[in-house]
Amino acid sequence: MDLDVFVAAHRDEWDRLDHLLRRGRRLSGYEADELVALYQLTATHLSLVQSSAPDPILTTRLTQLVARARATVTGTRRATWRDAALFLTAGFPAAVYRSRHWWLPTALLSTLLAAVIGWWIAVHPEVQAAIAAPEELRRMTRPGGEYETYYSSHPAASFAAQVWTNNAQAAAMCLVLGAFLCLPVIWILFTNVLNLGIGIGLMSSAGRLDTFLGLILPHGLLELTAVFVAAGTGLRLGWTLIDPGPYSRRTALARQGRAALGMAIGLALVLFVSGVIEGFVTPSGLPTWARIAIGVAAEAAFLVYVYLLGGRAARAGETGDVEAGDRSAELPVAA
């Protein structure tokens, strides 16, 4: 596309839209219709410029025009309880469901890697010795040791709040840092898997793997699922930079980024539930089977929520993105 010819052909339309916007509410019916038509036309022009001839000065001008026109045409809109309900029953579960091809393999590979690390540590005493001194290892793994007392070392409410904050931050980092070509996400995920594998290996070497799993599974099933969803979504966001699909790289990244931002809010709620379980159920005096049953029930409820509500919403066209009126106009890139 010849940018100079394009600007010359459409400058008058942009100037006219700018003039109408400056007049504000003092428009006749005909002028209001003209403003809407010019807004739609300019939004199309912006998409064409972004995909074919991304000039920063022209893009900035058209972006400002489109934003001002959209605010005038649609007006400002406040979030309502209906928006929150739609997000929880459609937007969030649909976004998780649509990204399942990323987070399910992430979960399976991470779990397998944790098991392999745990086995490797359990059968190699020299690796255990490299982790900590023998006395320190005994202090961690013995009955009433650090692995067990960790969950009851603080008041339940404050411990749950601390766990929730830490996990929510880790999930948010996975979602946000995915834009950096996936590398930070892989590191965060590996760190979590390594810590899990070390716990499995050390407790298994002490013959207390059943105790460790009895402490981890009640809250860990839901907690790790949320982390895997965040990591998978972050990896998907990073891959969008490499393969944006039918849209421009900027548009594709914006679409995935907005959905990821919504998922950060939803996953914070999921991690709140796992934090409550970790603070109140894991260190409780309930039998091991009862604590694990609570964790399994919470995990099953989340998966049903994602696959039932999310699958239904996704098939109806929900993506987890903001409403069309609240995002920039976009056009596919010609192949």
pLDDT digits (tens, 9 = 90+) for 132-142: 898 999 988 89
Q: What is the pLDDT of residue 154?
A: 67
Q: What is the pLDDT of residue 1?
A: 66
| CB contact at 8 A, 1 and 53 | yes
Q: Mapping DSSP to helix (H, G, I), strand (E, B) and coil, where does residue 70 land?
A: helix
Q: What is the pLDDT of residue 109?
A: 96
Extract the residue ranges of the chain whose pLDDT is less than 70: 1, 24-25, 53-54, 74-80, 153-154, 158-159, 179, 181, 321-335
Q: What is the pLDDT of residue 332?
A: 45
Q: What is the pLDDT of residue 320?
A: 75
pLDDT digits (tens, 9 = 90+) for 184-213: 889 989 998 999 999 999 999 999 999 999
First CA to last CA across the chain, in angstroms?
A: 15
DSSP E strand boundaries for 178-254: none
| CB contact at 8 A, 271 and 52 | no
| CB contact at 8 A, 229 and 146 | no
Going by C-alpha positions, the residue among 122, 142, 132, 136 that lies closest to residue 197 is 122
Q: What is the pLDDT of residue 104?
A: 96
- One-letter amino acid at 159 equals F
Asked whether the CA dihedral 63, 68, 74, 78 is positive or negative, the reply is positive
Domain spans of the chain, in order of start: 3-74, 82-326
Residue 150 gets the label, from left (phi > 0), alpha (psi -120 to 50) or beta, of alpha
**CA-CA distance, 328 to 324, in Å (whole number)?**
8
